[in-house]
Amino acid sequence: MEQTVKRIGILTSGGDAPGMNAAVRAVVRTAISQGVECVGIRRGYHGLINGDFMPMNASSVSHIIHKGGTVLYTARSKEFTTEEGREKALGTCKLLGLDGIVAIGGDGTFRGALALSRQATAHGNDLQVVGIPATIDNDIGCSHYTIGFDTACNTAIECIDKLRDTMQSHERCSVVEVMGRHAGYLALDVGISVGATAVLIPERTFDFESDVVEPIRKARLAGVTHFMVVVAEGVGSAVDIARRIQEEIGIDPRVTVLGHIQRGGTPSSRDRETASRMGYAAVQSLVENRGNRVIATRDGSIVNLDMEEALAMTKPFTMDRYMVLEALSRH
């Protein structure tokens, strides 16, 4: 089949995640190797509407693979959710002569890309889009793993390890709130990795007495003087959990909300390697005239999925890791 893609755009949208730059680099360099020009769209769909772009070549993505954040910046655009906003975006695509777009982000990013492609088709134009999943929450249904998750886990673990040093010195209880939006993947992985006394996640309804108070009591009876409770932001406020601990047990917890520090930092080997493979696969898909796709991971392999089908997929939260946590936290 003759290659029809000559120039593609690349953008990052939604929340930033470590490894996005590695994906940008892979897309640009793979495109160059295939004789395809690449244009960077800054500030996501907001930039596509307003014509905020930059030509990209091998030198423009040199020395970015190790950097957190995104060199293309990211933003959310309410205007793009309207038909009029997408018309402006299509005007930019036409002006730049784009045959395809690689969109790096989450479900919202993919839905926006698909809507743009469909609107282009309605006008008799062919604009192929490919999505690359990147979010520290790891909550995209079609992909077992998303870019940024491993780095965010490592960042949280490093912070909690340091926090434990001072908390142990004062024989205190730590309540640490981690990100994850409405999912508990980040909290559970971090909780297991730091040997938490208890982990609260939105996927599991918890009983405060049996899931928080009793583990702390048992740990204290076993001689432990410092307790670590990890709370996913989707469960609620760590401040509220700490207050209940003080009321029930009489100890004075210290609350730490890690917040957006989890989105930053040098991406891990796993995130750089996964992002590079996904970026390569995204360009290959466009070159092969396979548009409206999502590049995902399934059982460790990179797979190419129909975007509409991918957006309809869900990711069941299995409790096997929670069982590991419960077994290892018993005293």
Q: Looking at the annotation, which residues are catalytic?
A: 137
User: Cα 226 to the chain's mean position, in Å?
Assistant: 31
7-12 and 37-41: which strand pairing? Answer: parallel
Cβ atoms 127, 100 nearer than 8 A: yes
C-alpha to C-alpha distance for 215 and 137, rounded to whole angstroms:
27
Angle ∠(230,236,241) on CA atoms, nearest 5: 60
> Mapping DSSP to helix (H, G, I), strand (E, B) and coil, where does residue 158 land?
helix
Q: Is 19 left (phi over 0), alpha (psi -120 to 50) or beta?
A: left
Rg of the chain over Cα atoms, rounded to whole angstroms, equals 22
Amino acid at 158: E
Backbone angles phi, psi at 26, to 5 degrees: -65, -40
C-alpha to C-alpha distance for 132 and 248, rounded to whole angstroms:
46
